[in-house]
Amino acid sequence: MDVRQIEAFHAVMTWGTTARAAEVLRISQPAVSKAIMALERAVGFRIFDREKGRLVPTAEGQLFYREVEISFAGIARLRSAAARIRDYGTGEVRLGCLSAFSTNLVPYAIARFRRSHPEVSVTLVVAGSSVLRDQVAANHLDLAVTADEIVQTGVDATPFAEIDAMIALPPGHPLSSREEILPADLDGQPFVALAAEDTTRHEAEQIFASHGVAPRVAVETAYSSTVCALVLSGLGCGIVDPLTAPGFLERGMILRPMRPTVRFRTLLLMPPKKPSLLAVEMAKSLSVARAELTGG
């Protein structure tokens, strides 16, 4: 037996006549009759009795139809599953982000996404920008938020957020009485610096050089949240993304604006091929979270 024979049998049982079955299947009535006869030969028993030109299901035919109905229900589920996979991917979103966003913006976005898609699982990978970029390019991640110093070939990169940096100070620091921090205030100060490849650090160093000042670097780290922890430990002041500050401010860390300011710039990365609808929905949730937490 083959699928066309089963479809012809199912259509006749559903619609009652070979004429109506042929119309639904968009084939000729003789083709339907031929398929039914071929199916009877294949299964080895009569499916229909012929009574006055009409097909009447036999007892065996009725039993066989029950099994066909189960199979057709399974096929319908397969078609539905295929449509979901086509439109939404695997039912999982693999998201990557910087450490700076892993405790605030991204959890906020995931919670918003899950309210709309409670059946979808989310895998969150927190890593450095170059690692995230490579994983997106290799299709191991559906999307990622990274810093802007990455090589953008092999990925679809769009600007995500620009956030004014702030100066983090330990409790009781002499500069804590200032409303804003100027380059001259940092000359010779113990300083917790971002990693050498960080573009925000490069901008800050250009400002320091133009004002003839040089903070004294005590520690370097790639993560703004680690800068906060090191500052709170009294190792110096540092430039931080203010989104990383909650949790540290309650423990006494102080934030002050820096003038002139530098900015943390981030990118939203996706694979170059067409993303799944779920990845697009997650990107929308990230944008909403960014707007609500940063005001832009």
Reply yes or no on whether the pLDDT at 128 is more than 80. yes
Question: CATH for 166-261?
Answer: 3.40.190.10
3-88 against 92-162+266-294: fold identical: no
Q: What is the pLDDT of residues 27-55, one digit of tens each?
A: 999 999 999 999 999 999 999 998 877 88
Instruction: For 176-222, give the DSSP string.
Output: GG-SSB-GGGGTT-EEEEEPTT-HHHHHHHHHHHHTT---EEEEEES
Q: What is the pLDDT of residues 54-93, one digit of tens each?
A: 889 999 989 999 988 888 888 877 777 676 666 665 578 9
pTM, 2 dp: 0.67
Q: Could you tell me whether strands 190-194 and 237-240 are parallel, antiparallel, or unpaired per DSSP bridges?
A: parallel
CATH architecture for segment(s) 92-162+266-294: 3-Layer(aba) Sandwich (3.40)
Q: What is the pLDDT of residues 263-287, one digit of tens each?
A: 999 999 999 888 888 999 999 999 9
Q: What is the pLDDT of residues 59-68, one digit of tens each?
A: 998 999 998 8
**How far, in Å, CA of 215 to CA of 139, rounded?**
41
Q: What is the pLDDT of residues 168-210, one digit of tens each?
A: 999 999 999 999 999 999 999 999 999 988 899 999 999 999 9
Domain topology for 3-88: Arc Repressor Mutant, subunit A (1.10.10)
Domain coordinates in residue numbering, the chain = 3-88, 92-162+266-294, 166-261
Tell the residue number behind the tokens 């804590």, with chain if given. 176
Positive or negative torsion for Cα 268, 270, 274, 275 = negative
